[in-house]
Chains A and B, each alone.
Chain A
């Protein structure tokens, strides 16, 4: 049992490293996501100017930019394997659950890097008032975890369909809406000095629930 756990931990770690390395080779996903977020931010900032006193709009904009900047790349994690014909090989060396968990960790890391650039730029360009850092970072972290958990699972499903990329937004959106609603509500609350306890709990519970459900389901992902 112990060996089992340590070998699947090793497999997850190996998948994560492989993901990072293949992303680093082309930097296709991260550069597309960063370009998207910078383009969106500058065009919104150009169009509406600074929104310093509108915490509600700022919160909604921040999460919309993060969501759509990351969607394209997150959907790609499994599609890339199918298109590169590497999925079969990958499945021979690791269990579906470790593959999915490795990719989930990579997606989380990816979101972290994306936020590292997007969030400071957002705060500066939109003239946002300084956030309450503790609450703000907690929301970003929990929001990213929930986002990564649900989009990894949907990405795995989508990779096996005919239309792949184009279906991802439509299929993942119902699962991401609760995340978006809670994250926006929490971010808005911290800008107006409110309590973020309820949205933060909601995000944490959602991330855990989706993760637990996916762990039950990942073994059914591939069978033939």
Chain B
């Protein structure tokens, strides 16, 4: 309860601060504010995908359906944050580059991530038996894990990117306003906490759904 209240206050405070307290970067102007939401969303997208894949591999190893709950819940949330990152990025691209979508390498790689999430969830959706669903989805997740580094690696080699440095605090950002740095750190923390809270809710819901299904099957027999 206290944790939830803290999370709520933290997210609310950082959101207000992103609009009121944080300064604008000279070239970016008012579009700076989008980045306070875009970068944490992109970070959660990657985190969720990794989380989902780790739990898929763990499922194949242990055959514990609790891992499958984690993998599925994390993929659903990942898709949500992926869409958020894509939309905010696209709005920013419209303002700074003049078009919503231009197949910049960063746009391409986030689009690939979205496809992977979509395919994973579509595959899950077409399987009824929970054990088989867990197993096949985990297999797909493991193969997708092989594809992700290639997607991240092939595309930037083929195309030139306009995207600002994706790594925070990399070269050239040392002279960044300390308020911006605090803003980013606080946002990352808020989004990560939010993600794990939503994940725990979704995992619990998934567990209930599974139990209900099992009970329905037992009744039918």
* A interface residues, Cβ below 8 angstroms from B: 150, 153-154, 157, 160-163, 167, 170-175, 177-178, 181-182, 185, 198, 202, 205-206, 209-210, 213-214, 216-217, 220-221, 223-224
Instruction: Check if B143 sits within 8 Å of A153, measured CB to CB.
Output: yes
Interface of A: prevailing SS: helix
Taking CB atoms, residues of chain B closer than 8 Å to A154 are 140, 143
In the complex with contacts A167-B123, A177-B115, A185-B158 CB distance below 8 A: yes
Q: Tell me the complex Cα distance, A170–B157, Å.
A: 25
Instruction: Check if B154 sits within 8 Å of A170, measured CB to CB.
Output: no
In the complex with contacts A161-B123, A170-B118, A173-B119, A178-B144 CB distance below 8 A: no
**Chain A nearest Cβ from B6, distance in angstroms:** 38
**Chain A nearest Cβ from B162, distance in angstroms:** 19
Instruction: Check if A161 sits within 8 Å of B119, measured CB to CB.
Output: no
Supply 15 further A-B pairs (C-beta < 8 A) apart from A172-B119, A174-B147, A178-B147: A153-B143, A157-B140, A167-B122, A170-B119, A171-B119, A177-B151, A198-B157, A205-B150, A209-B150, A216-B142, A217-B60, A217-B139, A217-B142, A217-B143, A224-B132
Interface of B: prevailing SS: helix
How many B residues have CB within 8 A of the partner chain?
31
Taking CB atoms, residues of chain A closer than 8 Å to B132 are 160, 224
Other-chain contact of A213, B116, B142, B157 (Cβ < 8 Å) = B142
Instruction: Check if B126 sits within 8 Å of A161, measured CB to CB.
Output: yes
Taking CB atoms, residues of chain A closer than 8 Å to B115 are 173-174, 177
Instruction: Check if B143 sits within 8 Å of A150, measured CB to CB.
Output: yes
Instruction: Check if A181 sits within 8 Å of B122, measured CB to CB.
Output: no
- B2 on the interface (CB 8 Å rule)? no
